[in-house]
């Protein structure tokens, strides 16, 4: 650069090229290139407006979904015709009563169509549930209270067990000198052997104290059978029930 001059290009060679190169900051394009570029109709043009774009696309423009304004709800339904009536997206959300009406008889069996159970209702729906009787200080029947003749006798539990009970939890205590003798229970009047609950003396002179379910009738009655022997102890108490 010459001393004392402000002209940066003074004394430097000036280079022009007919084909401009990207990133080249040292060379200038020629007038010939500028002329050709300006005369090229595809080099650049003004952006199409909507009408010009449609015209440029020709008949294809009418089939292009991007070439339309967004439908209003009414227009969309009209455009869909009969299909609109079957489209779940084309309806306002049902109110609860409308949903029940629309479902008809199916609504009554749909678990989603009911209010949530409370704890008490859920327990009732899951019946039978065990109900603890509470603390009791004495046997309900013992000793001579049992007819000990090896035959079936009725025992009415309705004063202890509420209506609707299906079975009771019975605690029994037995002592006798003869192993294998039994105290048995069944639903009153039921003769089938498979519904009986039996308690046996396990060892001579040793207390046998256990619990087991005993099925009751709808009237809350059972039959018992106590072997004819001299019992050292025979006793039973209801601890609770299923209903």
Instruction: Work out the end-to-end distance of the chain between its first and last CA atoms, rounded to an integer number of angstroms.
Output: 111
Question: Would you state the pLDDT for residue 54?
Answer: 74
What are the pLDDT digits (tens) for 81-118?
A: 766 666 666 556 667 777 777 777 666 666 665 566 77
pLDDT band at 1 (very low <50, low <70, confident <90, very high): very low
**How many structural domains comprise the chain?**
1
Q: Examine residue 58 and state whether it is found in any structural domain, yes or no.
A: no
Q: Examine residue 190 and state whether it is found in any structural domain, yes or no.
A: yes
The span from the CA of 68 to the CA of 56, in Å, is 15
Domain coverage including residue 238: 132-242
Q: Examine residue 148 and state whether it is found in any structural domain, yes or no.
A: yes
Q: Flag the least confident range among 14-18, 47-51, 109-113.
A: 109-113
Q: Examine residue 63 and state whether it is found in any structural domain, yes or no.
A: no
Q: Examine residue 41 and state whether it is found in any structural domain, yes or no.
A: no
Question: Would you state the pLDDT for residue 6?
Answer: 56
Query: What percentage of the chain carries pLDDT values higher than 90?
Result: 46
> Which three-class secondary structure state does DSSP give residue 190?
coil
Determine phi and psi for 220, rounding to 5 degrees: 60, 50
Q: Examine residue 138 and state whether it is found in any structural domain, yes or no.
A: yes
Q: For residues 241 and 165, is the Cβ–Cβ distance under 8 A?
A: yes
pTM: 0.51
What are the pLDDT digits (tens) for 179-238?
A: 999 999 999 999 999 999 999 999 999 999 999 999 999 999 999 999 999 999 999 999
CATH code, 166: 2.60.120
Q: For residues 189 and 152, is the Cβ–Cβ distance under 8 A?
A: no
The span from the CA of 71 to the CA of 80, in Å, is 11
Q: Examine residue 56 and state whether it is found in any structural domain, yes or no.
A: no
* Mean pLDDT along residues 57-79: 68
Q: Examine residue 212 and state whether it is found in any structural domain, yes or no.
A: yes
């Amino acid at each position: 650069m010459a001393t004392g001059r402000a002209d940066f290009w003074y004394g430097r060679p000036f280079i022009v090229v007919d084909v401009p190169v990207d990133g080249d900051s040292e060379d200038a394009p020629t007038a010939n290139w500028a002329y050709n570029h300006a005369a090229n109709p595809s080099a650049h043009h003004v952006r199409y407006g909507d009408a010009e774009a449609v015209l440029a696309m020709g008949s294809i423009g009418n089939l292009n979904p991007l070439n339309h304004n967004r439908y209003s709800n009414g227009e969309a339904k009209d455009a869909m015709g009969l299909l609109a009536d079957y489209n779940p997206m084309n309806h306002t959300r049902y109110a609860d009563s409308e949903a029940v009406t629309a479902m008809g008889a199916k609504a009554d069996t749909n678990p989603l169509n009911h209010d949530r159970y409370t704890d008490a209702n859920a327990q009732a729906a899951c019946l039978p549930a065990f109900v603890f009787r509470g603390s009791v200080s004495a046997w309900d029947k013992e000793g001579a209270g049992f007819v000990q003749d090896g035959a079936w006798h009725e025992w009415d539990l309705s004063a202890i067990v509420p209506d609707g009970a299906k079975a009771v939890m019975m605690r029994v205590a037995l002592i006798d000198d003869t192993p294998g003798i039994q105290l048995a229970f069944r639903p009153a009047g039921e003769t089938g052997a498979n519904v009986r609950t039996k308690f046996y003396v396990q060892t001579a002179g040793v207390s046998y104290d256990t619990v087991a379910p005993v099925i009751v009738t709808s009237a809350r009655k059972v039959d018992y059978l106590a072997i004819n022997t001299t019992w050292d102890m025979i006793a039973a108490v209801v601890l609770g029930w299923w209903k």
